[in-house]
Structure 1
Amino acid sequence: MTASVTNQDALQLVVAVHRLIRSLRQAAPVKRLQPTQLLVLSELSTQGPMRIGEIAVRALCSQPTATTVVTGLESGGLVRREPDPADGRATIVELTGAGRETIASLAHGEAELLSDRLSRLTEAELESLRLATSLLRRLADPHSRG
């Protein structure tokens, strides 16, 4: 049995997620990264070094945009480009020590803020949120079937 979902349902979810992210970022002490920069750092942190093309796919942006984002992160000392050992003509992008520290600091800060907000929920609400988190992960994966 499949539940029917309206565009209004989807829009309300998008708005709620964006508001949560915005409120966490506004309350966070460090605000110097743009959302795409943060996404690229996060992907490099979890997936390891990768080529610009793969960064573009994972960040859901064009390759020129990914190049611009990486250039900005590189000038800030957060990433570096190295020759790809598998193909000397290509380069891979990897986090620097400063990049790892930045992503850890941001993640810790946002997690602390969110933990404080989560502490105000009931146990039943927390359990619902745990289930929803699993579903949101599936929805966030463009290759997921649902």
Structure 2
Amino acid sequence: MVRQVTEEDALQLVLAVHRLNRTLRVSTTDLPPTQLIVLSLLMEHGPTRIGELAARVPCSQPTATTVVAGLEGTGLVRRQPDPADGRAVLITLTDEGQERVVWVARREAELLDLRMAELTPEERGVVLAATPLLRRLAGG
């Protein structure tokens, strides 16, 4: 019989995922976390208004505006008119921005691969078997 997941179980999983994510990210990119989150969101969802980005990050709209301005200054995103509302703008990932997200993800995967090599074959199997489930949980 499978036991009930406790709040403590969930907390420990969240902490472990955060720690792993932070360790991989710090070792692979110089982008601040919020900038990388915005780039990833744009890659996943396509052109997006600043207010929507702020809600998805989550952060305040002024923070999202500052983050987008920084990314725009480095050529990773651009602003374009929203065809549905001429008063609004959409933030779009540039080709360079998309390449940067993929580059960071590949560096993180390389580092994770090195870390997983330290596990036993059985442990690696458990981690790999959990991937589809973690993807489902991440999807909401």
Same fold at TM > 0.5? yes
Q: What TM-score do the two structures reach when normalised by structure 1? A: 0.81
| Residue identity (%) | 59
Q: 1:97-136 CA distances to partner (integer Å, 9 max, x unpaired)? A: 3212211211111111112222333443233223322232
Structure 2: gaps (5+ residues): none
Is 1:96 equivalent to 2:94 in the alignment?
yes
Query: What's the RMSD between the two structures over aligned residues?
Result: 2.2
Q: Following superposition of structure 1 onto structure 2, how do residues 23-62 of structure 1 map, counting pairs within 5 Å?
A: 23-28=23-28, 30-31=29-30, 33-62=31-60
1:113 is aligned to 111
Unaligned runs of 5+ in 1: none
Residues 57-83 of structure 1: CA deviation (Å, up to 9, x unaligned): 322333333222212211222111110
Q: What CA deviation, in whole Å up to 9, does each residue of 1:13-69 have, x standing for no partner?
A: 1221122122212322x32x1112111101112222111122223223333332222
Per the TM alignment, residue 2 of structure 1 is displaced from its structure 2 partner at its CA by: 7.7
Partner SS for 2:4: coil
SS at match of 2:48: coil
**What is the TM-score normalised by the length of structure 2?**
0.84
> 3-state DSSP class of the match of 1:88?
strand
Aligned length: 140
- Aligned partner letter, 1:6: T
Residue 124 to residue 41, structure 1, CA distance change in 2 (3 Å): same
